[in-house]
Amino acid sequence: MSSSKRGAKVSLDVMQGLMAAGQAASKGLDVRLKHLLEIRASQINHCAYCIDMHIKDAKLAGETDERIYFLNAWEEAASHYSEKEQAALALTEAITVLTDGFVPDEVYERAAKHFDERELGQLISTITLINAWNRINVSIRNPPTYKPGEHA
């Protein structure tokens, strides 16, 4: 499989639109939590560029190596994450894997115990946006060569 970037000229207003949506989505959300969710969704969606970017930015924001590499198995490494983070991770997985069907009530209610309605709205938007970037970067096969802080 070729790993070079594919030819697709993403127009500036599409990119700017998505960036503006991303900024609005996560405004006020804890930055370390944001990166945890973004890394986890990018793992599920197999987006190398996005994994690279959000791991580098997470470390820049003071995240530990352990909490990053356990993300792939966070349910078995639950002691490394707060209840709140775990609820957000479970919600991230449900919203990311819609193809298996729905966002279960228990997952949603678990999140609703830790986040108020406005925070839930931000979480849902943030998870939606990383899913969008995953799709763009996987489709155009953007190579994982992110410089820390480049888009932070």
Contact residues for other proteins (CB under 8 A)?
1-2, 6-11, 13-14, 16-18, 20-21, 23-25, 27, 44-47, 91, 94-99, 101-103, 108, 117-118, 120-122, 124-125, 127-129, 131-132, 134-136, 138-141
Which of these, 100, 121, 99, lies nearest to 108 by C-alpha position? 121
Q: What contacts 24+ positions apart, CB below 8 Å, involve 28-32?
A: 28/122, 29/119, 29/122, 29/123, 29/126, 31/61, 32/58, 32/61, 32/62, 32/63
Minimum distance of other proteins from residue 33's CB (angstroms): 16
Instruction: CB nearer to other proteins: give 63 or 94.
Output: 94
Instruction: CB nearer to other proteins: give 46 or 64.
Output: 46
Cα separation, 98 vs 101, in Å, equals: 5
Minimum distance of other proteins from residue 130's CB (angstroms): 10
Minimum distance of other proteins from residue 10's CB (angstroms): 4
Whole-Å CA distances, 76 to 81, 83, 111: 11, 13, 19
**Structure tokens that stand for 146 in this block:** 């992110």
**Structure tokens that stand for 93 in this block:** 């997985």
Asked if residues 129 and 18 have their Cβ atoms less than 8 Å apart, the reply is: yes
Instruction: CB nearer to other proteins: give 39 or 63.
Output: 39
Instruction: CB nearer to other proteins: give 26 or 55.
Output: 26
Cα separation, 20 vs 147, in Å, equals: 21
Minimum distance of other proteins from residue 65's CB (angstroms): 26
Instruction: CB nearer to other proteins: give 55 or 94.
Output: 94
Minimum distance of other proteins from residue 108's CB (angstroms): 6
